[in-house]
Amino acid sequence: MSGTRKRIGLLALAVITVAAVAAGMAVAPEQSGAQAGSMHSCPPAGKWSIAVWEGASGAAASDAFAVCGADAVSAAYSLDPQTGAWSRWFAGKPDVSNLPPLTDKQGVLALGSAQVQTTPVPGLPNPATAYCVELGYEWRIVENPEGQAGMCVFPDGTECDEWSFFEGECGQSWAPESDGAIHNCPPAGKWSIAVWDGATGTAASDALATCGADAVAAAYSLDSATGAWSRWFAGKPDVSNLAPLGEMQGVLALGAGTPYTGETSQGLLMEFDVTADGLGVGRVKFGFEGLLNGEPCQGLMNMTFGQAQTIVDNAFTINDTDYTLTGRFDSATTAVGELQVHIPDRWADPGCFSDPLTWTASVQ
C-alpha cells in the first residue's frame, strides 16, 4: 500500500502560527489558597509558554493557573488532539471561557499577564547543578576566560561543563537511562501538546519513542530566552536541533501515520492508524451496538499496539486471545475488513453485536 502524503510542514506552520509562544522552564511554588499542585513553565509577564499542570485531575483552570501567582496568567488554550479544536480560558471572563478542568500532566499554551512582574523564587537551585549533584557526582567551580563555570566530575575522573551534561551534549554514558513516558501522545496525523514525564536530559528520540515505535513524526519546542523554535524530525538528525527534554516539558508533537475512519456493519464509528511508511497498523478503535433483551446496547474496543502490525500485500491479520481482526486496502485511501470477537463479554454484553463485525474505512 502506498503511503498517503502528509502535510507535516503545513500542519506545523498552522500550529506555530496559532501558538507563537515562548516557553519558560521555571516551576511555580504552590500558593496559599490555590489548587494543590505545580504549574511547570509558568509564562513570563506578557509572554506565552507551554505550561504543564502537575496535580490532581479535575482542577479548575483558574485554580491551577493561580499556582503561578495571583493574576499571573491572563489567558490559556488547550488543544484537543482528536478534533484539532482549541478550548480557551480568559482570566475573569467565564462567559467566553470553555477550557475544561485540567488533568494531571496536561500541557496548555498560557499567556502571562502583562501587568504582573515575575520575581525569582528564593532558593531555587541552578537546575544543571542540581542534576549533577542529585545523580551523585562531584560538582566544582572552575575559572575560565569568561568567568566561573560549574563542572560535573564523574567517577572515572572525566568531567563536563554542567550545562553541557544537563542538555545532553557531554557525558551521556553517565546520564540515567530513561524510564519515563510521554503523556498525551499525538494520534496519527494529528497534533497534541505532549508532556515528558521522565528524567531531565533524555534525548527527544528516546522520550518520544515511549509513544510507540515510529509513532511520532515531528516535535517542536521553544527557547524561553530567544523565542526560537527547536525541532525534531523522526529519522532526520541532520535537520533536528531539539535539545534533550526536561522533566515535565511540553512539546507540540505530530503523530506519524495515516488515520482511517469509517463505519462498522452496525453503524458506529471506527478508526485506525497506519504508520507513516504504510507498512503497519498501529492502533484500532471500534464502536458497535445492537439490542439485548430488546434494549439498545453498545460496546467499545480500543487496541494500541506497541509495535506496528505488519501489512503484507495490502492486507493484515491481527490475532489476539480476545479477537481476530482482518483487513485489506483496496487503494491508498480505502480499506475494508472484519472483526471477530472471541470473548464478547469483555468488551460488551454478549448479545450486543453480530459476529463477525464488518467494517469499511477511508482516509480522514
Residues 224-239: pLDDT tens digits? 667 677 889 888 888 8
Task: For residue 334, count CB atoms less than 10 angstroms from its CB and return exposed for 0-12, middle for 13-18, buried for 19 or more.
Answer: middle
Phi, psi dihedrals of residue 116, rounded to the nearest 5°: -100, 125
**What pLDDT score does 88 carry?**
93
Domain ranges in the chain are 27-112, 127-174, 258-363
Residues 280-318: pLDDT tens digits? 787 787 776 666 666 666 767 777 776 778 888 889 898
CB 97 within 8 A of CB 89: yes
The pTM of this model reads: 0.56
All cell numbers assigned to 289: 451496538
- What does the mean pLDDT of the chain come to? 77
All cell numbers assigned to 59: 482542577
Give me the count of residues in the chain.
364
Residues in a beta bridge with 5: none
DSSP state of 64: H
Listing DSSP states for 190-211 in one string gives -EEEEEEES-TTB-HHHHHGGG
- Kindly provide the residue ranges of all beta strands, DSSP E only, lying in 81-199, ordered along the sequence: 86-90, 106-112, 138-144, 147-153, 159-161, 181-183, 191-197
Residue 249 pLDDT greater than 90, yes or no: yes
Residues 32-90: pLDDT tens digits? 344 568 899 888 888 888 999 999 899 999 999 999 988 899 999 999 887 788 999 99
All cell numbers assigned to 33: 489558597
Collapsing DSSP states into helix, strand and coil, what is residue 91? coil
